[in-house]
Amino acid sequence: MNYLQRFKVAPGTSVRLNDVDPSFNDGHESRESAVDEITHYGKRLCELQELLYAERKHSLLICLQAPDTGGKDGTINHVLGAMNPQGCRVAAFKQPSAQELAHDFLWRVHKAAPARGEVVIFNRSHYEDVLVVRVHNLVPKEVWSRRYDQINAFEEELTANNTHILKFYLHISKEEQLKRFKERLDDPTKQWKISEADYKERGFWHDYMKAYEEALSRCSTAHAPWFIIPANHKWFRNLAIARIVVEQFEALNMKFPAPAVDLRHIRQEYHADADKT
């Protein structure tokens, strides 16, 4: 089974995250046993993204959601970093500004959507408005509960304009999160990422899991599927996401466009110029 199907949340499925093993590694014993596969898919990503950029018929939107320390930045660095930055960018969605709050919740998101030929990665996304907003009661339930349908309609509009959407939930255990917090405390190169809020949010773990489950269940559609990626092993997370993105690219059957100039004429000029030297 390809990874597009293996980790996809089937539309209409009622997700229970406790039923998904965050340490799943598809039979690989370690990163070393998967390194050739990881290298292959990284190279293939680069090749296919160039095709996307050259053809300019499609665009790709990748949404990353995860608990704190879930690996969004690592995914961008190790998987999507294989792509040419000329046709790839990252949009991060933090606490909304006063201007953004003065508009509907999708206003700032729509502006960041990819143009044709472009890959855009959302580091967090419009789903924050049915996650943190819900957990912390930032808006009434009657407001956030309507947003699932609004999100589905928004994503359907994007796909109608040849934007393909892949949404990844990076699934780690509560124990793995605590281990990664300790690694940050002990590593001077990661201490800048630490905030007291991260630890306070652990007290809402159960509430967040329920919020994620509802978002994954209600907003995984045929046109914009969710994928639950086992992410306790960072190397497997990278492999799984790279494979899924490659499989999505390959399904587009992209081709390099025909040259926009008369190549025969250009070759004649080249040979004439070469004869003079």
CB crowding 195-210: b at 16 or more within 10 Å, else e = eeebeebeeeeeebbe
pLDDT, tens digit (0-9, with 9 covering 90-100), for 42-101:
999 999 999 999 999 999 999 999 999 999 999 999 888 888 888 999 999 888 899 999
Show the beta-strand stretches assigned E in the chain.
59-65, 88-92, 119-123, 163-171, 226-230
Check residue 232 and give its pLDDT: 98
Distance CA(41)–CA(211), nearest Å, equals: 32
Show the beta-strand stretches assigned E in 77-180.
88-92, 119-123, 163-171
pLDDT, tens digit (0-9, with 9 covering 90-100), for 182-216:
998 898 888 888 877 778 899 999 999 999 999 99
Q: 275: pLDDT confidence band, cut at 50, 70 and 90?
A: low
CB crowding 3-29: b at 16 or more within 10 Å, else e = bbeebbbeeeeebebeeeebebbeebe
In the chain, the domains with their CATH numbers are 3-276 (3.40.50.300)
Strand partners, 168: 64, 227
pLDDT, tens digit (0-9, with 9 covering 90-100), for 90-122:
999 888 899 999 999 999 999 999 999 999 999
Choose among 80, 67, 74: nearest CA to 190: 74
pTM, 2 dp? 0.93
pLDDT, mean of residues 156-177: 97
